[in-house]
Amino acid sequence: MVKKTENRVEPAYITQIKSLHAALGIADDYGDTIGLPLQAEPAQLVAAGPDMFGRSQQMTPATLAAWHAMRDRAAGDGVSLLLVSAYRAAAYQADVIRRKLDSGRTLDDILRVNAAPGYSEHHTGRALDIATPDSPPLETVFDQTAAFAWLMKNADEFGFVLSYPEGSASAITYEPWHWCFSAARNEG
């Protein structure tokens, strides 16, 4: 599944993204207006085990190692971090948006909370949605938990950054659960 060559997105991937956008009704200039870069899929993914719903997940090898180290340290500090989701292919992202459209939501509403195919950090295999047992997953109330406080204090030590903080310049709304492993650390 090689989509990126030396930090360059391959033309076939761009063609796929354009096709997915056309099928969903996403404007041709989405990439120019959203404030997010086109995200290439990784050359290598590894099994990361099940998420909190029992679905199999994948990540890059370095992300998996960092996730395990971070999760284990949090557990040692009495904080439970749960994986909600990790890698998503561009086609899967399109399916997420299609399901929401089919349920009656508007495309503009959906694109405030989900990046269009090709622009989600989940495509990189480095983004994780994280939850904790004492809070509903993928809700902003996560920022009121001990898990969020722990992540804000410690996640950087493991190479994770909160991607969409309050007041972010991107068009994606505040997501206290969405953390991305920095490729600059051990990822190459």
Confirm if 155 and 147 have CB atoms less than 8 A apart: no
What are the C-alpha distances in Å from 109 to residues 85, 113, 157, 172? 21, 7, 34, 10
Q: Give the model confidence (pLDDT) of 104-151 as tens digits.
A: 999 999 998 899 999 999 999 999 999 999 899 999 999 999 999 999
pLDDT of residue 11: 85
This prediction's pTM: 0.89
DSSP collapsed to 3 states, the chain: CCCEECCEECHHHHHHHHHHHHHHCCCCCHHHHCCCCCCCCCCCCEEEEECCCCCEEEECHHHHHHHHHHHHHHHHCCCCCEEEECCCCHHHHHHHHHHHHHCCCCHHHHHHHCCCCCCCHHHHCCEEEEECCCCCCCCHHHHHCHHHHHHHHHHHHHCEEEEECCCCCCCCCCEEEEEEECCCCCCC
What are the C-alpha distances in Å from 80 to residues 126, 143, 159, 177? 20, 14, 18, 13
pLDDT of residue 184: 59
* CATH architecture of the region 4-181: 2-Layer Sandwich (3.30)
Q: What is the mean pLDDT of residues 89-113?
A: 95
pLDDT at 4 over 60: no
Identify any residues that bridge with 85 across adjacent strands, giving them in sequence order: 129
Identify any residues that bridge with 59 across adjacent strands, giving them in sequence order: 46
pLDDT of residue 167: 83
Q: Give the model confidence (pLDDT) of 30-44 as tens digits.
A: 988 888 899 988 999
Predicted confidence band of residue 188 (pLDDT cuts 50, 70, 90): very low
pLDDT of residue 185: 52
pLDDT at 168 over 90: no
Q: What is the mean pLDDT of residues 56-82?
A: 98
pLDDT at 60 over 50: yes
